[in-house]
Amino acid sequence: MPALLAIGTRKGLFLAHSSNGGPFEVDPVRFSTIGVPSVAVDTRGPAPRILAGIEYGHFGPSVLWSDDLGETWQEAATPPVAFPERTGAALARVWQLQPSPAEPGVVWAGAEPAALFRSEDGGATYTLVEGLWDHPTRPRWQPGGGGLCLHTVIPHPTDPGRLGVAASAVGFFRSDDAGATWRPSNTDIRAPFLPEGAQYPEFGQCVHKVAQHPARPERLYLQHHFGVYRSDDFGGSWTEIGSGLPSDFGFPIAVHPDDPDRLYVFPLHGDVDRTPVGHRCRVFRSDDAGATWQGFSEGLPEGPAHASVLRDAMTAGPAGVFFGTRDGEVYGSADAGETWTLIARHLPDVLCVRAAVL
């Protein structure tokens, strides 16, 4: 079956194609002078739509789309993601593009400064979700190292009223009424960088990424600045599951589409030394919802490795498991992460990776 791999980098978008499970072939770069921090492949319509959140430099961020696998691209006549004047905010980056599995035509966008936008025309234009923007805790939100960014959107696959978002360093928030109202959902997530006695705050958590299992939507996995967690009630409560890892610091987390107990992380030494643990390029997998972990490295670089993997640069789905590094290498696995194949090298800094079966 044909598959598409979309790789957003600091200097351009790369698309790779595979036919019938064969090797991926990488097309020439698109937008070679433009950063692509977010990308999505929307397969809900009659033809796949590729969405790309881009950074024009002096001209600011925008969203482009292609309905012919990247041959041609379109952009809305007016800025597609823009804050209403009353907010006094200006868009810095589109961090996430997420088609809604429960609502045809709906695409969510996570932005910086931390905000959620909704599109009802397939991702061409967006409006601000004001219920989150006006949340009473917003005046106390603080940015993480990467900025005040809403980097994760988790729409429920069958209930369009239920939605989760994660922002750094704000935490995980949940809505049960299609975004009209929101509540922080960070119970039992520890923030050790806070003073003793205040390490379990209602919000203010430095969440790096959240992943959901598509067939078991109440099951969420979360990579925190210090810790890896699981929720079995859509963020109502969290259980720490990182004790079996060599380090519980990292950025990406992904869950296998066929098994809600199988997940992947890429541990780093820590928040100061953001290099792979032991300077070995290894993806760690759990097959029992985080109770135990095993590292896999067959096919990955054997020598000392120093490049990290960013929060959106790992993905798992029907096409396989994939990740890209900050030194421009992209790897894929067709056997659930046990062995890896090099797909691309010498790319710019990889910011995001998404894959789809066409």
* SS3 at position 205: coil
**Res 197: pLDDT:** 86
Backbone angles phi, psi at 212, to 5 degrees: -125, 145
Residue type at 254? A
**Res 298: pLDDT:** 98
Going from the C-alpha of 295 to that of each of 103, 108, 185, 224, 278, the distances in angstroms are 37, 33, 30, 19, 12
Tokens of 326: 């900050």
Question: What Rg do the C-alpha atoms of the chain give, in angstroms?
Answer: 19
Sheet with 149-155, edge to edge strand ranges:
149-155, 163-168, 171-175, 183-184
User: Taking the chain (358 residues) in consecutive chunks of 10 residues, what is each chunk's mean pLDDT?
Assistant: 96 95 93 96 95 92 97 96 97 98 96 98 98 97 94 96 96 97 97 88 96 94 97 97 97 96 97 96 98 98 95 96 98 97 98 97
pTM: 0.97
Domains annotated for the chain, with CATH where assigned, are 3-357 (2.130.10.10)
**Res 1: pLDDT:** 82
